[in-house]
Amino acid sequence: MVLQLALGIITAIGGFLDAGAIATSALAGALFGFQLIWAVLLGTFCVILLTEMSGRLAAVSHHTVADAVRERLGFRYFAIPLVTELLQDVLVLSAEIGGLSVALHLATGFDYRIFVPLVALFLWALLWFGSFSLIENGVAFVGLIALSFVVGSFITPPPWNEVARGAIPSLPLKDSGQYWLIAVSVVGSVLEPFLLNFYASGAVEEKWTVKTLGMNRAIAGLGMSFGAIISIGIVILAALTLGQRGIRVDSFEQVVLTLVAPFGEWGLSLFVASLAIACLGAASDVSLNMSYAVSQGFGWNWSENLKPHEDARFACVYTAAIPAAALVVLFFDPLNVTMIAMALNAVIAPLIVFPLLILMNDTAYLREHTNGPIGNVLVAVVIVLACLFGLVAIPLEVLGG
């Protein structure tokens, strides 16, 4: 149970706590104090619900989300979300490579662009020579350092009554366009579409069965809650350190202050380590998911536990995607790429979530473990929210800057 819980933690670190979560949470706190904590909680509820269903699908049917969508709805339908998700995944991967490069810039003082090709090469080598268990357990263990954001929020205690009020959705007191843009981006940074198929693929890699359904619920809940607690910690620290100084967050360098305030000279090291491991976990997740989705869609061999020559086409996908993503962040600012990617996550989310609702009611896949009425209502609510966020994301990106 403890070892398998690592899957939930790495999914939270890579698909929840990443450059996007750090950037959007810091922006939310810096610009609007504690007022957008509700967006973190809303995204967390949605992602717990959907990851539990993805894991249940994998455990009962031994199908991933991509594999089941292609088989159940046909390749013509599957091709639409596949192409859309691949394009978005490259943008998300660019943000993570950029975030890790910025962490190295903060540690050394050299231009982040110098590190982009080195980060890309290291990521490729990790996937090429590593195994799923190595990536899963290694990132999950080292990622615990990100709890420094939570510890820091207690060292510099906020007015907890105001924090509690931030958990209740409210209308903006100023800058409505930016408020709703950041709210959508916060939810998008949590509800990243690649997360669902990655989680299901990891469950298949680890050979989950119906006996692990209880564990799946615990992993989805605890793993995602782990990421949510850290994101809320970032919002709190950003409100106390950046917001009170009028810093609007134009770069990751400014976010360093969130940990320098409570930890002094150790704050820079803690931030660099937290940003680096979060981005490495996310970059590993999204790179693998691209290989998973393409391989499962075309019926190729796929597994991170196989040697590259045993599933060559699987390895070729991430081998091509990593340099393509690196090129993007060489020419565009990592924080801007991150914010755009998080907003666009909301745009494509309905394409991924809607087929999951169909699958979770198909007895051919789930047998007696299909969704009940409450589960279906909750997923329907998530789909409606995803569609709403998707419709407003692009206009908000233009209006909110």
- Once rounded to an integer, what is the mean pLDDT over residues 346-369? 88
Q: What share of the chain is helix, strand, coil (3-state, %, to 5)?
A: 85, 0, 15
Task: Name the residue among 4, 36, 7, 100 with its Cα closest to residue 231.
Answer: 36
- Once rounded to an integer, what is the mean pLDDT over residues 104-120? 94
Whether 10 shows a pLDDT value over 70: the answer reads no
Better pLDDT: 334 or 2: 334
Whether 198 shows a pLDDT value over 80: the answer reads yes
- Once rounded to an integer, what is the mean pLDDT over residues 115-132? 92
Contact indicator for 243, 33 with CB cutoff of 8 Å: yes
- Once rounded to an integer, what is the mean pLDDT over residues 65-80? 90
* Res. 401 pLDDT band, cuts 50 70 90: low
| pLDDT tens-place string over residues 256-291 | 989 998 999 899 999 999 889 888 888 998 999 999
Q: Any idea which of 90-104, 148-162, 378-392 has the lowest mean pLDDT?
A: 378-392
> Which pLDDT score, from 0 to 100, does residue 289 have?
92
| pLDDT tens-place string over residues 32-65 | 999 999 999 998 998 899 999 999 999 999 999 9
Whether 79 shows a pLDDT value over 80: the answer reads yes
Domain 2-400 bears CATH identifier 3.40.50.2300:
no
Better pLDDT: 128 or 172: 128
> Which pLDDT score, from 0 to 100, does residue 184 have?
85
Diameter over CA atoms, the chain:
57
> Which pLDDT score, from 0 to 100, does residue 388 have?
82
Task: Name the residue among 95, 87, 178 with its Cα closest to residue 395.
Answer: 178
Give the number of other Cβ atoms within 10 Å of residue 155's Cβ. Answer: 12
* Res. 4 pLDDT band, cuts 50 70 90: low
- Once rounded to an integer, what is the mean pLDDT over residues 77-85? 89
Give the number of other Cβ atoms within 10 Å of residue 315's Cβ. Answer: 21
- Once rounded to an integer, what is the mean pLDDT over residues 354-369? 91
Burial (CB count <10 Å: 0-12, 13-18, 19+), residue 193:
buried
Whether 139 shows a pLDDT value over 80: the answer reads no
> Which pLDDT score, from 0 to 100, does residue 233 have?
93
Better pLDDT: 135 or 23: 23
Strands (E), 137-268: none
Whether 6 shows a pLDDT value over 80: the answer reads no
Q: Any idea which of 59-73, 182-196, 252-266, 291-305 has the lowest mean pLDDT?
A: 182-196
> Which pLDDT score, from 0 to 100, does residue 224 have?
80
Read off the tokens for 4. 């398998």
> Which pLDDT score, from 0 to 100, does residue 207 have?
87
> Which pLDDT score, from 0 to 100, does residue 146 have?
82
Q: What is the dihedral of CA 88, 90, 93, 94, to 10 degrees?
A: -110
* Res. 137 pLDDT band, cuts 50 70 90: low
> Which pLDDT score, from 0 to 100, does residue 370 have?
93
Cα 36 from chain centroid (whole Å)? 18
Whether 3 shows a pLDDT value over 60: the answer reads no
Nearest 5°: CA angle at 158, between 156 and 164? 145
Q: Any idea which of 35-49, 123-137, 362-376 has the lowest mean pLDDT?
A: 123-137
Burial 103-112 (b: 16+ CB within 10 A, else e): bbbbbeeeeb
Whether 398 shows a pLDDT value over 80: the answer reads no
- Once rounded to an integer, what is the mean pLDDT over residues 148-175? 90
> Which pLDDT score, from 0 to 100, does residue 37 have?
95
Average pLDDT along the chain: 86
Domain definitions of the chain by residue range? 2-400
C-alpha span between 291 and 317 (Å, rounded):
5
